[in-house]
Chain A
Amino acid sequence: MALIEVKSLTKRWHTDRLALDCVGFEVKQGEIVGLLGHNGAGKSTVMGIMLGMVRPDQGEVRIGGVSVQQDRPKALAQIGAIYEAASFYDYLTGWQNLRALCSLSGWWDEKEVRRVLRLVNLHDRANAKAGTYSHGMRQRLALAQALLPRPKCLLLDEPTDGLDPEGIREFRELILRLRAEHGLTILLNSHLLAEVELMCDRCVILKAGSKLYEGPVPSRQENKPIFQLQSPDIAKARDIASRIGASMSREGMVELPPHLLGSDIVRHFVEGGIRIDGWQQHRRTLEEFYLEQTGL
């Protein structure tokens, strides 16, 4: 069942620039979906519309069956979000910031707040002023506020922006843990393709306001194994490959048909007198797929 339904969103800015052109996709319960695209592709605009901060010219977003455009408070009661750079009140402590934000949700439970602060590893700095927090601590506080009170779904807009590699890894592990333990549905907008690849089940790629792709993260599709052949006899190897129903590029990338194994084609090459310097399975990365899709 789709928890988030994004339906035919169109948005034109006052400058007449088309920000979104009939963009639609779904996020099912328990899924982690990555929203990808270059700067200005429309990712943050989609997020803004999902949170009711940006008004679409056409289309709507439904969260748990409730339209954000028609009943924003009810729709948003089901989600937690980090939208653009989280800006906290520097003169309040982390705890006071959470209290001020939670009051808008009409909820406060000290025990649960402490649990979430421990979860994001911020419990020992909760009483320090937010102005004294490092960038990583601010991001963790942003995640803590998104997790209060327990949402069904998280919308995360560039949550790892500016974090160091260790911080990014911790964040990824936390997100995966939240999904595993609480069945959270997560929509993640990120520039870090490697992270999206490691975290997400599916991805949506936007370019210049249009949707280019919606589907599984390509590297997770194992139904078309690709191998890389290193050999001085590539031209001859291509003939052999085409004879047995496999396709092979000039660079030595061999895509196998479903009835053949990697070992079968190696045998054919050896019997055909091909010298093999190297043979390894190649997994197409999300980055390669993304660049291919966006034509960059």
Chain B
Amino acid sequence: MSLFFSQLRAEILKLFARKRTFIGFGAFLLLEIVILFLFQTKGVNRFKSLIVQQGEAFEKYYSALTIAHIVLGAAVFLLGGIYLALVAGDIVAKESEDGHMRLLLARPVSRFRLLLVKYLTCALYTIALVQFITWSAFLMGLFIKGWGGGYFAYSPEAGIAAFYDWSEGLGKYTTASLCLSFAMITVSSVAFFLSCLPIKPAAATITALSYVLIDMILRNMGFMEDYRHLLLTHHMAAWAKTLAVDPQWAVILRSFTVLVGVNTSLFLAGVVVFDSRDLKS
């Protein structure tokens, strides 16, 4: 087991030794600032009316947590998928293309183990990135509004418009962000699977993004009403349901079980494909 962890550690160090990884974190920080600026200048009035219409005090609920929630949702929606697909799409395909795989597989390690280490690295990276966005958005909120106040959790797609006190809201925000991290692993899994095919890394990234985008568009189509349970983004959106006053845990658990099944299947399909490949230039 310690051997496995030392291999996982080496893979994580390799990923975090790349400048691009840090540039990504920097890009998200920049995006969060832009979102925050646009929201403060253009969106805040609309948001104010939403809170007031619900009969609550805007001053209390326009807090660090509410701001963080808005920034988190927008940043992950706008750039999260792209960046995760880029990293996971590269992790096998780029290493095969660059010839690193020939060096790695000249070592006494099975292809299954090598891919498991890489997949777990992608999953950990996904969690790290979403958590980075979660807490950097929260810090920005603190910078603007300070500690305390309420939390207006608003997610129209999930049918959520709930009000919480600070401490309860902080717990809800933390739980939701952990569930979002888990949900986003699915994007990485799709890109990882494609990365195991004998295709260019850019093709893996673009195909993964296209798949997720089409899935999302279909989810919003009326004629797909009866088939939404077949769409990945429908189950991924379950993270927002944890923000309800009385969350339907059975529904959330069902969606996350589906995602676990999909992720496992994508990983195993990737292993089977990669295992059947001849690695020779």
1/0 per residue, CB under 8 A from B, across A185-208: the answer is 000000000000000000000000
**A132 → chain B closest CB, angstroms:** 15
Partner of B103, one of A72, A77, A86, A108: A86
Contact A100 B10 (CB under 8 A): yes
| Given A44-B280, A54-B278, A91-B18, A85 and B99 contact (CB-CB distance below 8 Å) | yes
Note all chain B residues with C-beta closer than 8 A to A77.
108
User: How does the 8 Å CB contact mask read for A77-107 relative to B, with 1 for contact and 0 for none?
Assistant: 1001111111111011000100111011110
Contact A103 B9 (CB under 8 A): yes
B250: CB under 8 A from chain A?
Answer: no
- State the CA gap A55–B110 with chains docked (Å): 14
Would you list which residues of chain B between 220 and 245 have a CB under 8 Å from chain A?
none
Flag if B280 contacts A81 (CB, 8 Å): no
Query: Who on chain B is nearest to A51 by CB?
Result: B106
Do the beta carbons of A48 and B280 come within 8 Å of each other?
A: yes
- Complex alpha-carbon distance, A52 and B101, angstroms: 12
Distance between B96 CB and nearest chain A CB, rounded to angstroms:
10
Is A53 an interface residue, CB under 8 A from the partner? yes
Total interface residues on B, CB under 8 Å, equals 29
In Å, the complex CA distance between A249 and B280 comes to: 45
A82 to B109, CA, bound (A): 16
Report the separation of the CA atoms of residues A54 and B281 in the bound assembly, to the nearest whole angstrom: 11
Is the Cβ of A51 less than 8 Å from the Cβ of B105? yes
Contacts of A88 in B (CB 8 A): 100, 103
Give Cα A104–Cα B6 distance, bound, in whole angstroms.
8
- For B108, the chain A residues whose CB sits under 8 A away are 72-77, 104-105
Query: Is the beta-carbon distance between A100 and B13 smaller than 8 angstroms?
Result: yes
A84–B105 CA distance with the chains assembled, in angstroms: 12
- With A84-B99, A87-B98, A87-B100 already in contact, the answer to whether A53 and B10 are too (CB < 8 A) is no
Contact with A along B189-225 (1 / 0, CB 8 A): 0000000000000000000000000000000000000
> Given the interface contacts A52-B105, A53-B102, A72-B108, does A100 sit within 8 Å of B14 by beta carbon?
yes
Q: Is the CB of A72 within 8 A of B102?
A: no
* Contact in complex: A104, B19 (CB < 8 Å): no
**A146: nearest chain-B partner, CB-CB:** B106
Tell me, in angstroms, the Cα distance from A295 to B133 when the chains sit together. Answer: 67
Q: Is the beta-carbon distance between B280 and A104 smaller than 8 angstroms?
A: no
CA gap between A75 and B3 in the complex, in Å: 18
| Chain A residues near B103 (CB-CB < 8 A) | 83, 86-88, 101, 145
What's the least CB distance linking A36 to chain B, in Å?
Answer: 19
* CB neighbours of A54 from chain B (8 A): 278-280
- Residue B7 interfacial (CB < 8 Å): yes
- Cβ-based interface call for B178 (8 A): no
- Residue A210 interfacial (CB < 8 Å): no
B104 within 8 Å of A (CB atoms): yes
Which size class do A's interface residues fall under? 35 or more
A37 to B23, CA, bound (A): 47
How far apart are the CA atoms of A74 and B109 in the complex, in Å? Answer: 9
Question: Which residues of chain A are near B11, meaning CB under 8 Å?
Answer: 100
Which listed residue, B17, B105, B106, B110, touches A96 by the CB 8 Å rule?
A: B17
Please tell me if the beta carbons of B278 and A99 are within 8 angstroms of each other in the complex. Answer: no
Whether B74 sits at the interface, judged by CB under 8 Å, is no
- Contact A53–B13 (Cβ < 8 Å): no
A72–B106 contact, CB under 8 A?
Answer: no
- Which residues A163-218 have CB closer than 8 A to chain B? none
- Whether B107 lies near A87 (C-beta < 8 A) is no
Question: Which residues of A from 37 to 61 have beta carbons under 8 Å from B?
Answer: 44-45, 48, 51-55
- Please tell me if the beta carbons of B6 and A106 are within 8 angstroms of each other in the complex: yes
- Which of B10, B105, B114, B281 makes the CB contact (< 8 A) with A99? B10
What is the bound-complex CA distance between A82 and B103, given in angstroms? Answer: 7
Give the residue among B19, B107, B276, B281 with the most A Cβ atoms within 10 A. B107
A48, B279: Cβ atoms closer than 8 Å: yes
Tell me, rounded to whole Å, the shortest Cβ–Cβ distance linking B152 to chain A. Answer: 43
CB neighbours (8 Å) of A86 from chain B are 99, 103
Residues of B within 8 A of A91 (CB): 17-19
Chain A residues, CB < 8 A from B107 = 76, 101, 104-105
List, in ascending order, chain B residues with CB within 8 A of A72's CB: 108, 110
Q: Contacts A72-B110, A84-B280, A89-B14 hold; do A101 and B3 have CB atoms under 8 A apart?
A: no
15 further contact pairs, Cβ within 8 A, besides A51-B105, A92-B17: A44-B280, A48-B279, A53-B102, A53-B105, A53-B106, A55-B278, A72-B108, A76-B106, A84-B102, A88-B103, A96-B17, A99-B10, A100-B14, A105-B108, A105-B109
List 14 A-B pairs, Cβ < 8 Å.
A52-B105, A53-B106, A53-B278, A72-B108, A76-B106, A83-B106, A91-B17, A100-B14, A103-B9, A104-B7, A104-B10, A104-B104, A104-B108, A146-B106
Chain A interface residues (CB < 8 Å from chain B) = 44-45, 48, 51-55, 72-77, 80-89, 91-92, 96, 99-101, 103-106, 108, 145-146
Q: Which of B's residues lie within 8 Å of A, judged by CB?
A: 3, 6-7, 9-11, 13-14, 17-19, 98-100, 102-110, 114, 276, 278-281
